Chain A
Amino acid sequence: MSGNGYLFAAYAVTWIIHIAYLGTIVRRYSRLQREIEELKKPGVKS
């Protein structure tokens, strides 16, 4: 790998890590939204 290859790898890995973390946040958020819909359904006191 040339110098530029390492440079590209470093920048790419940085964003892969950040996007992966953001992905977990988004995933948990949509799961929570679904749970909230469940809670709002009739027959469930809350």
Chain B
Amino acid sequence: MKKAFPILGVLTAVLLIYALYMALVWAPTEKTMGNVQRIFYYHVPSAWTAFILFFVNFVASVLYLIKRKPAADIVALVSAEVGVVFCTVVLVTGPIWARPVWGIWWTWDMRLTSTLVLWLIYVSYLFLRRFSSSGQTPTLAAALAVLGALCVPFVYFSIWFFRTQHPQPVMGGGGSIDPRMLHVLLINWLAFSCFAFLVCWSRYRLEKLQRDVDHAHALASLLDPRGSGR
């Protein structure tokens, strides 16, 4: 299992470089926006990856509530953290794209606004994990994750209707996409998905190790309360 990691790492790096080349060179230049449109190839895959990670968080949280397996709790933590990282990328690349195209940094357009709310929900999840006492954290976090995930359809519906009532410029445009652009988009998505997987795996190993060490510390102080070097 451990041997696979460096191999996958190299493969992912190669894939990312290839995807970058495709995005910057191979992909056709967009007619109206020019080269700035290529931000799309980083912005959209990051969003899709974040959504998948948040879905994983939901599943892991439900699993934890049912089975109470520590592994499920770690997966929930890891997927939320890495999901927030990718979501942050979406929220930062969005305005960088919007500024040259629309002249404004933020448009309260439907997708960007929904992503912002999603980011807020999962950041609050991370705060709960940080601020609650360690015995309860997995259960409380799992409950919050379920509520947060249930909120997502409401977020999309409410913002969608709000936008139809108060239209704003839509970023990324609607309508059909050039098949070559779609190809590049999917390649970047594959590359970032592999990257996300590796990041999650690293974070998972770190968390597992941290918990084992904490456990060892707890045991040490139990067995030798007078002085255990801590």
Residue ranges of A at the interface with B (Cβ–Cβ < 8 Å): 1, 3-4, 6-7, 9-11, 13-14, 17-18, 21-22, 25, 28-29, 32, 35-36, 38-39, 41, 43-46
Q: Is the interface of A mostly helix, strand, loop or mixed?
A: helix
Given contacts A10-B39, A38-B229, 4 further A-B contacts (CB under 8 A): A6-B99, A7-B35, A10-B42, A46-B219
Q: Which of B35, B199, B210, B228 contacts A32 (CB 8 A)?
A: B210
Is residue B206 within 8 Å, beta carbon to beta carbon, of the partner chain? yes
Q: Are A13 and B210 in contact (CB under 8 A)?
A: no
Residue ranges of B at the interface with A (Cβ–Cβ < 8 Å): 20, 33-36, 38-39, 42-43, 46, 82, 85, 88-89, 92-93, 96-97, 99-100, 195, 199, 202-203, 206, 209-210, 213, 216-217, 219-220, 223-224, 228-229
Counted as pairs of residues, one from A and one from B, with CB atoms less than 8 Å apart, the total is 86
Q: Which residues of A contact B99 (CB under 8 A)?
A: 6
Q: Are B93 and A10 in contact (CB under 8 A)?
A: yes
Q: Which residues of A contact B206 (CB under 8 A)?
A: 25, 28-29, 32
